[in-house]
Amino acid sequence: MPYPPTVETARLTLRRLRHGDEDAFLATWADPDVWHGIRPGTPFDPEHGRQRFRHHLQHREKHGFGLWLINEQATEDNRWGGDHVRPFQANVPVVLDRVGVIPGQYVYADSSGAVVIPEDQLEEVLAGAREISADDERFRADIAREERGARS
């Protein structure tokens, strides 16, 4: 069974790479973080990017499978402050409700909230997190001993 050209869900659209995607493909590869992962220590080479783009198109034609592009749909579930949030840039400052995040900072987020950690404070924050984790482990062991003692 051949792969469909496009797959859509309420949240995502996945589609095959097309000839018209070359500019977006090159823009992604030109991002310094992306390029560093591809060819560390070398300046971005647009010709290499074009060659790889053509390679991926030819791979799909020859083998019947290849790269897919993913587009996140704007839905009620990914709204923020009344506006839809759709990423379109990387390594630029972001300000949400007077809280700024600048490139180089770290963000930890889960279902209970988020925290922004300045790069120069990361080691201190990680040390504190390890200490809290060790305390939690000691508390768990103490509680387990108390429970075993209460059953005896």
Band the pLDDT of 82: cuts 50, 70, 90. Answer: very low
Does any domain span residue 82? Answer: no
Helices of type H across 43-85? 46-63
Helices of type H across the chain? 22-30, 32-38, 46-63, 122-151
User: Per-residue pLDDT averaged across 9-27, rounded?
Assistant: 85
The answer on pLDDT for 97 being more than 70 is no
Q: Are residues 52 and 104 in the same domain?
A: no
Better-predicted residue by pLDDT, 151 or 132 = 132
Does any domain span residue 123? Answer: yes
Q: Are residues 1 and 65 in the same domain?
A: yes
CA nearest 22: which of 52, 1, 53? 53
Are 101 and 93 in contact by the 8 Å Cβ rule? The answer is: yes
Tell me the average pLDDT of the chain. Answer: 81
How many domains are there within the chain?
Answer: 2
Give the structural domain span for 33.
1-77
Q: Which pTM was predicted?
A: 0.47
Q: Cα–Cα distance between 68 and 143 in angstroms, integer?
A: 50
List phi, psi (to 5°) of 47.
-65, -40
pLDDT tens figures, 27-50:
888 888 888 888 888 999 999 999
Q: Are residues 69 and 133 in the same domain?
A: no
